[in-house]
Structures are given as C-alpha cells and as structure tokens.
Structure 1
Amino acid sequence: MRVYLLIMLFFCGISFAQNTITGSVTDSNKQSIPGANVNVVGSSTGASTDFDGTFKLNTSAKPPFAIKVSAVGFETKTISVTSLSQIVDVVLKDEETKLDEIVVSASRTPERVIESPVTIERMGIQEIKNTTAATFYDGLENLKEVNFNTSSISFKSINTRGFATVANTRFMQLVDGMDNSSPALNFVLGNLIGVSDIDVASVELLPGASSALYGANAFNGIMFMTSKSPFADEGISIYYKYGQTSQDVAGTNDYNDFGIRAAKAFTKHFALKANFTYMEASEWIAADKRSMTGGSVGHEMNQNYDGLNIYGDEVTTFIPNVGQVSRTGYREQDLTDNKVKSMKADFSAHFKPWANDTEIILQYKIGTGSTIYQGANRYALKDFLMQQGKFEIKGKNFFGRVYFTSEDAGDSYDMRFAGWNINRLAKSDKNWFTDYGTAFQLSSAVLGLNANQAANYARNFADYNVAPILGLVPNTDPLNPGAPRSARFEPGSPQFNNALTTVTSNADLTQGAKFIDHSKLYHSDVNYNFRDLIKFAEIQIGGSWRKYIMDSEGTIFTDYDGPIEYKEYGAYAQLQKKWMDDRLKFTGSMRYDKSQNFDGNVSPRISFVYSAGESKRHNFRVSYQTGFRNPTTQDQYIGLDLGPFALIGSAADNLDRFQETQPVSLAGQAIPNANIGPTVNLSGRKAYENSYTLASVQAFAASSNPLDLKVANPKLVKPEQVQAFEVGYRTVVQNDLSIDINGYYNIYNDFMNTSRVITPYYGTVGTNPADAGVLLSYSALAFGDRRVYQVYTNTTAQITSLGFGVGLSKKVYKDFELGVNYNYAQFDFDQSEDPSFVAGFNTPKHRIKGSFGNAKVAKNLGFNVNVRWNTEYLWQSSFGDGMIPENTVLDAQINYGIPKLKSVIKVGATNLFGKDYLQVVGAGMIGQMWFASWVINP
C-alpha cells in the first residue's frame, strides 16, 4: 500500500510543458497512425504519436528546422518547421515494410529485418495494440517458431526449437538489457518482473543459438523487450481490464488487470518514468488423476494408486501378505487457494548531460505475486519477490551497464511435501501402514472379504478409524496403548487448515514444505562499436561479468554453512562488412566465456546475406553459429531430499557438501562379520562413484541375476554445446506479399541430462560376486538398504534436431491483412547409445498459425483474429510424462478508438469456442477467457 501511495503521489505531481510543437500523423485514408516517431533532424529530441495520431514535441531548436516523421509500414517524411506555433499535420504513404523494420538484437547494431543474418521475429507497437491475447506477453504465442509451456495462468515460458520444460534454462529473456532469469532457478518466470503493456515499445526474438554475442544461456533462443523512453513518450497512461476465465474444473472466475504509467521530460536533459501494474485471477486448476504407478485410477480399485495431481499418495510401502500400498493423498486444489496475483512496479531516472545521444539511466524494478511453478514437483509460489536495479550509460556507439537481481521465495512451498506432511501430522506413516495391514488381514480372515474389499476396508480404517465390526481392530493406537487414534484431516476443516499452515511455514522437508531462497546475481556488460573510427568494416567488441550468490539456507542447495558463490565472464568481437554494391553482407563473431567451475568455451558465428534483384528485395542468408550452456546453479549445487529420491548437483565440491544419514534394515545389521551399524552416512560422492543404474537394479530384482547389474559411474556435468546451421530467404513481392522462409539443422554435444542411480548402503558396486565388497552390495539391494539419487550429467548420445518454417503475409483487400505461418520440428538420437537418456524435446512436429485483421476497418475501428493448431506430441519432464493432444485454439478481438477521450476500448476472447486444452503434463488444462479493456493515453 505504501508503494502504491508513493507511485500515485509521483504521478499526480507531474505537470505538462506548454511550449511545444503539436501536430498529427495520418495515413492516406486519413486514419491516425499511433506510435509514429517524430524527431528533430540533427538532434536527439523526439516524440511519438498517441493512439489518435497526435503528438507534442518539446524542443529548444529555433525555427527554421526540420522534423523527420517515420512509422513502421509507411514511408518516412521530412517536414520544415518555420514557427513554434505551427501545427504540423503529416500524411504518410503506405509502404509494405514488415521486413524493413529496424532491429538491433541480431547483430547488436541497427539493421533491417530483411538483412538480418539470422531468423528474427518482432512485435511492435501496432502488433501489441492488435494482439488478441489478454496481454502482449501472452500474444507472443502467435509469433512464428514460438511454442508456449503454460504452468499457470500467470506463468508461461517460451519454447523455441525444442528441449524445454516449464523451466526453460536454454532460453534467455532481457528487459532493457537486464536478464530476467531467477538467480536460483536460472530461468525466466514469465513476465513477473518484465514490462507493462502500456510501456513496452518493441519485442525482438531470436529463436536460434546466439551465444556468439550473448553468452552462455542464449542456447536455443533469446528475447529482448524494450520499454518506451520518457523523452519520446510523455504523459500519464492508464489501462484497466476486466474479464472472466472459464475452466471445467475451476468454473467461471473474475479476471482483473490494472496499470498506470507516468513519464515526464522536465528538460531536454532530464526525464523520469514510473510504472505500476496489478493483476489478479483464479488459477487453471491442475486435476489430472492418471496413475503414475499403473493400474486403475483411484484407491477404490488400486491400493498403490499415485495420482499425478494428488499429493501424499507417493508415500508407499510393501506390507507382507498385502502388497504395495500408498497413503491417501490430497488434491492440488486442496493444498493451495488457487488464486493468482501479480504486482510489479518500476522507476527510472534518465539523464542526457550533453547535446549528443549519451544517456545515463538509473532504474529499479520490483515484482511480486503468487503463481504455480512446475519443476521436479509442483510449487505454490506465494508472495514471491524479485528486484532488479541498474545503472547504465549508453550512446550512439557504446553502452555499459551494471545491474543486480535478488529474489525472496516469500511463503512459497512444495505441494507434494505439503500433502506428505499433513498426512504425517494426522498419523505417522508407521502407524498408518500398521493400521492398514492389520485391518486388511483381519477383515480378509474374519469377514471373508476379497482382496479389493479388504483393501477398501483397510484404507477406511487407517484414514478414519471406522470398523464395521467392533473389536475387529483396536480402538486405540496399537503403537501407543491408551492413546486415541488420530484421523485424516478433511480438506477445508480447521484441523486441515491448521496443518497446512504448520507444514508450509516449516522448511524442514521431513516435517514441512516451505522453501527458502534469498539468492542474488550481479552482472555487468559493455560494448563499443568502432563504426565512426574504422571505415572499412563495422567492428565492435564487448564483454560481460557475472556473479551468482546462492542462499537457500540449506533448503534447496548445499549451502548449509552459508551462501555459495561462483563467477562467470566473457568477451566477444564482431566484424561486419558489405561488398558488391552492398549486396553481400558478411558477419563474423567470436566469443570466449569462462565459468569458475568449468573450462573456457569459444563460440564462433559466421553468416552471409545476399540481396538480389534490382531493388535488393530478394535476400538469401546462410549462417553457422554455435551455442553453449553452462550447468545451472541447481545442476551444480542442489542437494534436495525429495523423499523417494534426492537430487545431487555435480559440482566437484558439491559431492562432499551433500551428506545424509539413512537407517539400515535389521537384516543388513545382521550380516555376519560386516560390522554394519543401525545407520549409514551417505554423501553425494557415493551417488557418482558407487552406484548402479536404476534400470539394471530393476532387472536384478526381477531375475536375481547379478549379471543384470550395471555400474552407473555418471560423469560430472559440464557445459553442453550446439552447432547450428541455418539458411533463409526473405522478400516482399508485388509490394504487399511478405515471404519469410528458414531452415535449420542443430548438432548437440554433451547434452545435459539427469540420470537415476541407486547407491547401496554398504558394499562396493560391481558385477564380480567373488569380490566380498561386491557381494555385500548385492545383499544391500536385496534387503532394501539402498538410496535412489537423481544426478546431473551429460549424455554420451549425439542428438540432432532440424526444422523449417514458412511465413506469409499479404493485404488481401484494402487494409485487410492475412497472415499464415507453418513450422516443422523434429529431433533424432540413438537410444542405444544412452538407454537412460530422456530427451524432453516437448515440441510438436507440425504447427500452423494464422491471422486475419484490419487495424482500420472503419473510422477508429479495428479487429484481429488468430488461430493456432499443433499436432499431438510427447511431453517428458521430471514431474511426469505423457502425450499432449492435438489442439486448435482461436482468439479474437475488436477495438474502438475514442479520440475525444484519448481512449481505446478493446473486447477480446481467447480459446473462443474451444474446449479446455493442455500444454504441460501435470499443469492445469487451459480454459477460455474473455476480457474488456480500456486504455487511456495522453
């Protein structure tokens, strides 16, 4: 509330200068052009038009002078200004320039899309205005090559060119030059700390490997979001959206989204900007009941049932004469309030101390909210907080910036552990399984119930202490005579709510579910372009430095004795040269990166672009580029006990940092002359150096043949690499038909992978039964004295992927525009080279997207329709595997401008006429949403 009041006071304190040049910008049909740029020639002074095409330009220049007016899709025009009181009305001629838009990200220098050396997608002001999604970020799903992985209504991750789960560590997202990734998780949390809908100026997306310029994590793609400058876009803008979501499980619920932006250039040297947004909605509830242990759905017919979105039933044991039995779990919707909220704000001060383009920026961003994240488990992120602060100085040919990112997990918790430990507060696992076994055997023997009837009888008694025949089982706790039996807590009851509060505030996962995270990163990067000093070619150099600080107090990482730190740095150079009357453009880049824990890596990139035809409109390109990815903080330093197994990071010093104690069975303690005590101490080193593969232990259990066992011996994880070959063709023909075709082939080496291994509590792994230590390990496996670990390593298999895409856009009648794009993607590897490798490509083989709209179908009226279709595909992740069905999604919106109110009204709907559909196995089905928004611009 205090933050909100400060923001409002800041907004209300802004006043507007009156000494300005005013005017309007329209097209040949007298329709307004929003977002047009108006700049004083020879100066950095500028402004942009609002939604009704009007502008106010503050300048200290004295007449006569010239202003240049430009807009995407129109020819640029220069106008002479002879008086400060002159009203400047400009009419721009339409020009098909979808591929002539200026982008910076592909080569770190301004160039036209059509001349980009690599595939690039762009969303500008007009596309943002016309998006059929509730937010511009959601609208990115309609771009070519983009596939969304939706974990929550407010948490969507971008997947380009495959090999991505919700935690897409192979994709990088920058906002005003700052990496948006979580310091601890190393992937982007959607738009949690991104840009407001009314402050975003443009989005550029490179769907391929980009490490040659952007370093380690730009492996399968990188996205740049740029916000508006307060020097060019002044005033107070406000939006409000109301809508409703509808899902079969969650029903119909309200959706609210509010934002306000204020910007003021007080002088030509000083400007301020602030943004505030707040969103709240109900979650797409995850309610997948499929059994992860096989068999029927539900405990009624499957006593070892483990439902995908039911937590607590993963706790299972083998009861003699009964079989494998799991506890009764709780639904995900019982363990969270199913509410989503997001609040973010940012403040920046901008200084232009000299007459040139040099600008100094101080910026602070904060984002907080509640959402659902899916990793190895499902996590309720409650009041999660991220902050960023930046100091940047930039000019025409250079930039330098330093920034920090910090996060606080707030009241976040693991829903699987919440289910486990709520059950344990009601009744210990030992007591529950004892009750179950006793009731099962007595009901079968005394009542003559069949196995299924006895199982239901036993579960009813173990959960609720209900025995149809008194005296069949005792009414008091058999392990604590005289004490009354405890019963399962019913969802929504005071006992359940108290238990949920207790476990979600306890960070000890043997009793609670809370996780702690105060991790940080510090980053700096610089770049200089020598184009004004060196004329034969455009040469630029740059570099970066980063420091990670992991601080989970031992709840995620092995930072039991204090935060863990490590550093990375890199440097690059690029040369760009044109020949043959500027028809042939060569771009060559080279980057060296070094992480503290790994050897250095060199990433080259070479590309050629040839512009054919009289007007150079036929552009062919070919490129070879490389990417690499350093193991994440979790890959290196995680040490997390998940119950049935533990996650062990593979940094060399982490193997000894991870320590745990496990109880030994009575049979193991009784092995003659083995000197085995009641407990053993295990370290992460045991997982990597003394373990069998999971598959071979399962085979050994079925056959009792030691020859089936295979020593795991996983290698310590190291960076993965990709070599990317790409060709493409872009053109505009007949003045209004845009064609964009690209194809790629990727070769992956040392692809990062996780593997399940089993470590015996005692003995030495091997296949020679004559060795006493090996024979002892066989006994450990037979007696159940073993531990399952998930370790981080690299696959020995070579993996390749290929794909191609075609994008077409044409004005089919007047200003009605039709667009369609198609993408094909597949991967290949030899499973026999690494039987335990799980690819996790998670990308449909075929995708088609289409759009049809007109931003000016009538005066101030526009509309747009988007449709997306994909084939069925396999989803693989540590949480769950399964098929994502084929689906077709239709979105639509209409918008109407009200110039007198400086407003735009939009009404839209997503998944119109469709049924709930799935993007992530384990996440909620995505339902429908309709919304109405009102945007007020100055």
Structure 2
Amino acid sequence: MKKSLIFFIFLCCLITHAQTTVTGRIVDNNNAPFMGANISVPELSQGTVSDLNGDFILTVSQTPPFNLQISNVGYETQSVSITSNNQVVNVTLLEGDALDEIVVSASRTPERIFESPVTVERFGIKDIKNTTAATFYAGLENLKGVDVNTSSLTFQSVNTRGFATFANTRFVQLVDGMDNSSPALNFVLGNLLGMTELDVNSIELLPGASSALYGANAFNGILFMTSKNPFDFPGISAYYKQGITSQDAAGTNPVYDLGVRVAHKFSDKFAAKANFSYLKGTDWFAVSEVDVLSPGNTRADPNYDGLNVYGDEVSANIRGVGQSLAAAGLIPAEAVALLPSENVSRTGYAEPSLTDYNAESIKFDAALHYRPFADDFEISYLGKVGIGSTIYQGANRYALNDFFLQQHKIEVGNDNFFVRGYITDEDAGDSYDTRFTAININRLWKSDQQWFGQYAGAFLGARGQGLPEEQAHGFARQTADTGRLVPGTVEFQNAFNQVISDPNLATGSKFQDATQLRHADANYNFSHITQDFADIQVGGSYRQYKLNSSGTIFTDSDGPIKYSEYGVYTQIQKKLLEERLKLTGSIRYDKSELFDGNFSPRLSAGYTAGADRSHNFRASVQTGFRYPTTQDLFIGLDAGRAILVGSAESNLDRDVRTFTLSGVGAAATGSPTATVVGRAAYENSFSLNSVLTGAPAKSDVEIVKPEQVTAFEVGYRGRTGKVIIDLNAYYNTYQDFISNETVLVPFYGEVGDNALSLLALQQSDFKAYQTYTNSSADVKSYGATIGLGTKVFGNFDLDGNYTYSKEDFDQSSAPDFRTSFNTPNHKVKVSFGNTEVFTNFGFNVNYRWSDTYLWQSTFADGTVPAFSVVDAQVNYKVPSIKSTFKLGATNIGGNEYFTAFGTGHIGQQYYASITFNNL
C-alpha cells in the first residue's frame, strides 16, 4: 500500500512537472492583432488559436525544449523554440505561398495542396475577405475551372467539367460533412442551407469524379465547406451590407444582408456557437418573349409560346376543335374544312405578373461541442435551419416562397476517426409553379374547351366576312379573350391566390413536399498505427430516402416512398524515394436496394522534383458513378409541355392520367376520353425525332440505371521564379450516360400498327412524355486548365487562369438524346489586387470572360452569348475598433448577361459593408 502511494505521488509530480505554459501575441505585418492563428506543438495533438486581440495561452504536457508552430492558411508557418515554462512569445505572420496551404478533401487527410494527388481548388478566410462578389458563395465563380450558373439573385449552382443544369445532380456539396442538397430535388439550392459568411473556415473544391472516397453522385465534383470550431474561434463577430441591384427590366432595388456569429469557450471541455444571417432583395426579372417553338415569331403567331410567358403552352389543333364542334352539332360539318389544320395556343401571362420576385434568405445554426478529456476527442451536435424565397428554373420556373430546409447532426471523433449521423428535412412552404399558375388562372376563368370553341367559331365568322386568315386569327383571339382576367385587378389576384394554394395541377400550382433524408457515415484513419508501412483509411456510409410529396411531385399519393443505399471504402497511401513519390489507391463499393452493387477504384501518383522540391507532377485514373435521382426514379409530374415520369419499375404503373380525345379520336375509339399509364412512355411511344422528320417510329427507351465515368487526369503544380503554375488536363469516358428523352405517347392504338396510333398523331391525340433513361451512344469529354500567379510592382497579386472544355458526342448517333453539356469551350479569369496597398487599405479586381455556348434543359434550349464581367472592391481595416469597411460592385460595365437560357438577365450590384471582430 505504501509503495503504491509513493508511486502515485511520484507520478503526480512527473505530470505536474510536464505541464508547460506558453503565452504570447500574434500580429500581421502591420502589427495588427491576428485572430485565428493556429498554435500547436507538432508532436502533440494539443493546440489553441489566437483570440480577437491576437493573444493566446497554451498549456501542453511537454517539458522544454520543444518547438511551437504558428500557422494560418495563406501565411508562412513560423516555428518558435520554447526553452522554459511560462515563456512569452511574439510572432508576426507574413503572407505565404498558396502551394503550402493545407487541404483535407483530396485524401480525407491533411496534406499540402502542393502534394495533393488530384486537382484541388481552395477558397479560404483570406479569399472570402477579399472577394469582389456580393456574397462569399458567389465568389466561388472566380476559381479556376468552376462554372456558377445563376438562376436568381440568391440561387447560384456550382459545377465543374460540364454536364449540368440548375438541377445539378452530378455535383455534391458538403457542409460540415453533411450533404445539404434538397432530398426531393436531389440538388443543392445554392447556399440556402449553407453557411453564414462569418462562420466559414475553409472551402475546398475537387473537380471531377470523387466516388472512390465520397460515393454516389460525387461525379462532376464535390464542394466542401467547413465551419469554425468554437473551441478555436470564440468571440462575437457581425457584418452588415447594404446596396442596390440594377437591371433594365426590374429597375433599381435595395439589397440588405446582415449576419452575426456568437461563440464561447466555456472551458477546455465545453464550447458552443450560434450563427444567424438575413438577406433580402429583388430577383432578376425574366422577361424574354422569344418563341421557343419558332424563334422570331411574336404573339401574332397563332401558336406562339413565349419563353417567359406562361399559359400559352396549352394548344389545340383548330381543325380538330372544329371536328368536335361539328360532332356536337354546334357548327355545320362542311365548315370544318374552312379551319386550318394548325395548332393554336391560349394567351399567356408574362412572368412578372406571376411572382413578386422577392429574394430572401434566413439562416440559423447552433452547435454544442464537448471534449470530455480536454483533448482532440470531441462530441458535437449541430442544428441548421434555412428558409428562403427565390426562383428555381427546372422543367418550369418555380417561385420558391418560404422554402424550408433543416438538418440535425450528431458527430463523435478525433484526429483519427469520426462517426456522424444526420437528418435532412424539407418543406416546400408556399412555393408554386409559375407555368401552371398561368395555365390554371386561364382555366379558372374559362375552360380550354370553351375558349378553343369560341376561337374556332369566331375564326369561321371572320372568314365568312371575307377577312384573310391572319386577320381572322387576330379576331378569333380577341373574341375568345373577351373578359380575360387582367393582372393588377382584384379578380386576377383572387384567382391567383386560389390557384397557388391548390396542390392539384389540374386546377392549381402549389408545390407540396415534406421529403426526408437520413444519412450516417464513419471513417477511421490508421495512419498513427501503420505510418511506418503506409497510411490506411477505411470508412462507410448509409442513406435512406423518404419521398413525401402527396402526389404533387412523385407518384406517392398513396403514401411516402422509401428506399436506401450504402457504401464502404478503403484507401492506402504510401511515400517512397525520400518521400518524393506518393502513391494512393482507393476503392469503394456501393449498393442501392434498387440496383446491383458497384465498385469505384482510384489510383494516383505524385512525384516532387527539383533540388528545392518546388515541382510536383501528378497522374490519376479514377472512376465515378451516380445513382438515378429520386426524380429519375419516382417522379410523376405534368410540366405543361410534357409529362415527366420516372422509370423505377414500381413507378411505371402508378402514373395514371386521363385525356380528352378529339372528335375523330372519340368516334374511332367509342369513348370521349383515354387513360394512359406511365409505362406507355417506355413501351408504347413514338420517338420525337422520327415524328419531326415525317417517319414515325417506335422509341427505344430503356429503364434508367446507374451512370459511370472513367476519368484520366494529369497535372503539375510548381514554382518557377516568382510565378506559381498549376495546370491539369483530363479525359472522361461515360457509360450509361443518364439524360432525358422526349417521346410522344398516342392516346389510342399500338405504336407500329400503322392505323390507330398514326391517326392519334394526325388528330393531336397524343402527349409528350419526358423519360429518364441511358444513352447507348458514346459520350466523352475532355479539357484542361492552367493557372498562373505572381507578385508584380512589389506586393501586388496578379492571378489568371484559362479553362478549356469540350464535349465529344455524335448527336446523329442518338438524335433524340440530349447531354446538356452546358458549359463554354473557353473561359478566362483574371484577378489583380493588394491586401496592403498602404497600411490597412486593400483592393481587388476580378475579370471573367465566357465563350458562347448552347444551354439545354427541360425548360428550354437556347444559346448563351459570350459575356465579359468586371467586379471590384476596396476595403479598409480599422484595428482599433476591430472592423473592416468595404465598398464593392459587380458587373461594373453594366452589360447584362445570363448564364442559362430562360433566366433573368444579370444586372449590376453595388454594396457597402462593415464587419466587426472578424479581422
């Protein structure tokens, strides 16, 4: 007992003796306090960060002498020798080399971006502070190889290497490890459920396939946003921005944006934080009246279908209407021949009459962090809520009003492992489809049958009075439109309110959804055990979808649809040849209950050359795959121009619709209506191209299956003199490329019977269906990027990059198939700035040029013209009040442009901001 007591006292003495405390202050090259610098002992998993005043206190279980390391992204790492307890150190951090920045995403382990086995783009705290964009998220557009497509003021869609629409299902966005895409839509709604600007610690972007480590859908690329840990970044910070947007169509409108971050470290064991941000403005008006069916036509054309005019998608063959009237005894049978066999569309409403263009975003999140042993082992809870109003362009233009997303995550981990689980829940709020709003306002006022009947009767009367056909069409429309509801009147508003509150698309336009996603994943890094041999990691994930749209999006009118998927992976990384050569191998297996399992391997090699190790060459071959989305599988939606029907086997017979037949069709079938099941789109339909070319033939549409890509990439990063060079080139080959194919389903007859089915085409007794399938044609893409950065005129930063992207697809081999490459062949981006022109004053200017390209989507296809954009900002820091003042402007030239066909043109934005305690 005595020996044990003596041993215990001796051990306590040793532990007490081993405690060393170091205090100090970190400043920048202007002697201003440096908040958030990392202070650590490299050999230990112990460290701290500097506070708002640049001060720190660090106690470690190490006896002097040892080295203290001070670092921050974008700054040179400093090392200080600690020779005694209670030593005081003062360190100045200087701006460093971009090649020394640390990234985690490429290998799921910290490494210099210089040695990353694959291409990585990084956007850190320093970049966020210096961005010329009005929001940090919009600032991602200036990264090399990145496309940001703007649907509206608050909804930007990030993508790399082509093949994307706003429903960008090939690109994944993770926020603190959580996929923050909408579970029902299967894509990210910009930064709706992302981060507040004050809480962003780092942003990393991996272009290209990343399925070997991150699973399905990490196909075109993956974006990682990591927030600030309250243990490392305590304190209160805030910002306020105010400005205006200016657009020819919308005029000049105010924009307000504010945010607050509160974080506190209660002890070495417990810390917490909360973030809030609010943005309000006016969206870009979409007012194009281009006829999507026949560009160049105007409303004077009987079958006009305006791009941003809705309700005019409803059309009928005017002779077929006459045949129905004659069959009902309303007009003489001989009068039918006087009606032209051409389609006539109803009069539509312009988009500004159907939405208030309110752009709003409210984000709140709170986190609790607990370190039971006061070391790197941590248990945390994170809750996030996002509410937003914006315009989303998919098959139609959707007014998302008070769209609600929430996520809740529990995570346990340390430097070597993590286990996390989270749930994503959404509510569509008061969102609605603008196209069906117009369609059903028209129908609420006057039914299609009544309107087309009046049109046909008035046309015959005008022709009988000797009017030429063109004037007869004008008179017929005027007659049928008599008494039409006019925007701005009480009658119109009452009809509008009734329609947008009705979720039945036969009579309303409300977008109803309460879909959920549940996800769990884990990773263990054995490097601390196996480092003498190799760095080894293993991990896995599980996900379950619960689709719940009450039949308004999916075919789930009889109850929610559930399905799940899982995956496991491993990675081995080894350094050889005096750590100049780094080899990495990864493989992942994924399985969905709806599909067979799939393996995704990745192999890469990186070699560091040069006496000073300043040149790194890399090569990789990796595979990616993506499951068909929830909509690819289970959608059942009438989008106006076409009916969208998912191709999961269990979905094909759940989509059942009834159509009214023409008079001839009713006489031929003995029934005024026909019932069509979704399966017919895949098994009894005409290919669209065959009908357009005058040789109707049966379509060959197969049920959708997972898509795969094999990506080959080579790259180089290095420094030559004062110039930093980063370049890469890639070549992708796709298998079972997923896209849509439009087919025409006859309301009667069997395709190929050369009888009833052809009669259905002649009498317009058919409906366009959009199917979800895979292309048997070869789809390939290739491209390259090069980035150059240097210092000029002393301390001014000059950076530029060029991106080349090209699709290799023979359209003639699959005329009905559309790949939606949707990216320009050429892009150029240049930035010029200085964070310290003189003490505390900085500026930055960004220039972007994009080549002309074709935009394909389910909404409309069209050309996006080339555009050039200049953004700029100036800022001034006031260390005495720990604040930064900033003035900025985007699209300074004022030449309005758009990045996708059908959206509002992007105008100018001017803003002024002040940020407190975030120096």
Shift of 1:636: 0.2
Which residue is equivalent to 1:383?
A: 402
Closer/same/farther in 2, CA of residues 48 and 847 from structure 1, 3 Å limit: farther
Aligned with residue 454 of structure 2, among 412, 431, 435: 435
- What is aligned with 2:323? none
Asked if the contact 1:796–1:833 (Cα under 8 Å) also holds between the matched residues in 2, the reply is: no
In 2, distance between residues paired with 1:294 and 1:848?
33
> Could you say which residue in structure 1 is the equivalent of 2:700?
713
Match of 2:555 among 546, 554, 558: 558
Q: Conserved in 1, the CA contact under 8 Å of 2:240 and 2:915?
A: yes
Q: Report the residue type matching 1:697 in the other structure.
A: V
Partner letter of residue 472 of structure 2?
A
When the two structures are superposed, what TM-score results if normalisation uses the length of structure 2? 0.92
Find the aligned partners of 1:327 and 1:875 in 2 and give their Cα distance: 27
CA distance in 2, matches of 1:350, 1:783: 67
* 1:392 aligned residue (395, 411, 435): 411
Instruction: Assess if the C-alpha contact under 8 Å between 1:888 and 1:914 holds in 2.
Output: no
What secondary structure, in the 3-state scheme, does the structure 2 residue paired with 1:635 have? helix
Residue 14 of structure 1: aligned partner: none
Report the 3-state secondary structure (helix = DSSP H, G, I; strand = E; otherwise coil) of the residue aligned with 1:655: coil
Partner of 2:492: 496
Residue of structure 1 equivalent to 2:12? none
User: In 2, are the aligned partners of 1:215 and 1:570 still within 8 Å (CA)?
Assistant: yes
Question: Shift of residue 399 of structure 1?
Answer: 0.7
Kept in 2, the 8 Å contact 1:872–1:883? The answer is yes
Deviation at 1:79, TM superposition (A): 5.5
Q: Which residue identity is paired with 1:725?
A: F
Of the candidates 479, 494, 497, which is equivalent to residue 461 of structure 1? 479
**2:733 corresponds to which residue?**
747
Instruction: Report SS of the residue matched to 2:266.
Output: strand
In the alignment, structure 2 segments of 5+ residues that lack a partner are 1-20, 320-338
Match of 1:722? 709
Give, in whole Å, the separation in 1 of the partners of 2:599 and 2:433.
Answer: 39
Q: CA 1:213 to 1:63, structure 2 compared with 1: closer, same or farther past 3 Å?
A: closer
- Contact 2:591/2:597, CA 8 A, preserved across alignment: yes
Offset of residue 493 of structure 1: 1.0
Q: 3-state DSSP class of the match of 2:749?
A: coil
1:374 aligns with 2:393: yes
Distance apart, 1:445 and its partner CA: 2.8
Query: Which 10-residue stretch deviates more, 886-895 or 424-433?
Result: 424-433
TM superposition shift of 1:663:
2.9
Deviation, 1:872, is 0.8
Offset at residue 458 of structure 1 (A): 2.5
Q: For the Cα contact (< 8 Å) 1:35–1:126, is it kept in 2? A: no
Cα distance change of structure 1 residues 162 and 644 upon mapping to structure 2, 3 Å threshold: closer
Contact 1:31 1:859 in 2 (8 A): no
SS of the residue corresponding to residue 346 of structure 1 reads strand
Residue aligning to 2:13 = none
Q: Does 1:303 align with 2:302?
A: yes
Matched to 1:39, the amino acid is S
Alignment match of 2:522 (pick from 522, 526, 529): 526
Query: Is the 2:26–2:50 contact (alpha carbons within 8 Å) kept by the matching residues of 1?
Result: no
**CA separation in 2, counterparts of 1:663 and 1:457?**
27
Query: Which residue is equivalent to 2:171?
Result: 171
Instruction: Note the alpha carbon deviations across 1:669-701, whole angstroms, 9 max, x for none.
Output: 434xxx64333322122221111212223344x
Aligned to 2:115: 115
Does the CA-based 8 Å contact 1:151-1:374 persist in structure 2?
Answer: yes
CA distance in 1: counterparts of 2:808 and 2:704, whole angstroms:
22
Partner of 2:833: 853
Counterpart of 1:359 (choices 365, 371, 378) is 378
Deviation at 1:615, TM superposition (A): 1.8
**Which of 770, 775, 782 is matched with 1:795 structurally?**
775
Residue 732 of structure 1 is matched in structure 2 by 719
* Cα pair 1:807 1:820 within 8 Å, conserved: yes
SS at match of 1:139: helix
Q: Which moved more, 1:337-346 or 1:309-318?
A: 309-318
Equivalent pair of 2:39/2:50 in contact (CA under 8 Å): yes
Change (3 A) 1:676 1:442: closer
Q: What are the equivalent positions in structure 2 for 1:798-877 lying under 5 Å apart?
A: 798-877=778-857
Output the amino acid matched with 1:888. Answer: S
Distance change >3 Å, CA 600–CA 62, structure 1 → 2: closer
Percent of aligned pairs sharing the same letter: 54
1:219 alignment counterpart: 219
Letter in 2 for 1:744: Y
Give 1:611's match in structure 2, choosing from 600, 608, 613: 608
Q: How many residues align?
A: 874
- Contact 1:690 1:713 (C-alpha < 8 Å) held by counterparts: no
Give the TM-score normalised by the residue count of structure 1: 0.90
Q: Which residue of 2 aligns with 1:917?
A: 897
1:505-541 CA-to-partner distances (Å, cap 9, x unmatched) read 0011111000211000000011111112223111111
Name the SS of the counterpart of 1:99 in structure 2. helix
Give me the whole-angstrom Cα distance separating, in 1, the residues matched to 2:775 and 2:421.
36
Q: Distance in 2 between matches of 1:909 and 1:601?
A: 48
8 Å CA contact 2:36–2:232 kept in 1: the answer is no
Report deviation, 1:774.
4.9
Deviation at 1:441, TM superposition (A): 2.8
Q: Which residue of 2 aligns with 1:624?
A: 621
Flag the 1:238–1:93 CA change in 2: closer, same or farther, 3 A: closer
- Residue 695 of structure 1 aligns to a residue whose secondary structure is helix
Q: Residue type of the partner of 1:390?
A: K
Preserved contact between residue 48 and residue 56 of structure 2 (Cα < 8 Å): no
What are the Cα deviations for residues 14-34 of structure 1, in whole angstroms up to 9, with x where unaligned? xxxxxx987543345646655
Distance, in Å, in 2 between the alignment partners of 1:623 and 1:295 is: 45
Counterpart Cα distance in 2 of 1:159 and 1:112: 24
Aligned match of 2:4: none
Report what 1:147 is aligned to.
147
**Partners of 1:40 and 1:46 within 8 A in 2:** no
Does structure 1 retain, via aligned residues, the 8 Å contact 2:546–2:560? yes
Counterpart contact for 2:184–2:630, Cα < 8 Å: yes
Give the Å deviation of 1:303: 2.1
The code of the aligned residue for 1:220 comes to N
Q: Which 10-residue stretch deviates more, 917-926 or 824-833?
A: 824-833
Candidates 410, 425, 439, aligned match of 2:444: 425
Contact 2:792 2:798 in 1 (8 A): yes
1:602-625 superposed Cα distances (whole Å, 9 cap, x missing partner):
100000001111121110001000
Partner-residue secondary structure (3-state), 1:416: helix
| Secondary structure of the structure 1 residue equivalent to 2:231 | coil
Distance 2:236 2:94 in 1: 30
TM-fit CA distance, 1:439: 2.5
- Kept after mapping to 2: 8 A contact 1:408/1:519: yes
Alpha-carbon separation, structure 1, partners of 2:24 and 2:811: 65
Residue 775 of structure 1 and its aligned partner are, at CA, apart by: 2.9
How far apart are 1:760 and its partner, in Å? 2.3
Structure 1 residues 843 and 173: CA distance shift in structure 2, 3 A: same
Q: Report the aligned-residue RMSD.
A: 1.9
**Residues 629-658 of structure 1, C-alpha deviations (whole Å, 9 max, x = no match):** 100000000011234421110001111111
8 Å Cα contact 2:33-2:879 kept in structure 1:
no
Stretches of structure 1 that go unaligned for 5 or more consecutive residues are 1-19, 465-486, 701-707, 767-772
Alignment partner of 1:409 is 2:403: no
What residue in structure 1 maps to residue 5 of structure 2? none
Work out the CA distance in 2 between the residues paired with 1:566 and 1:362.
Answer: 26
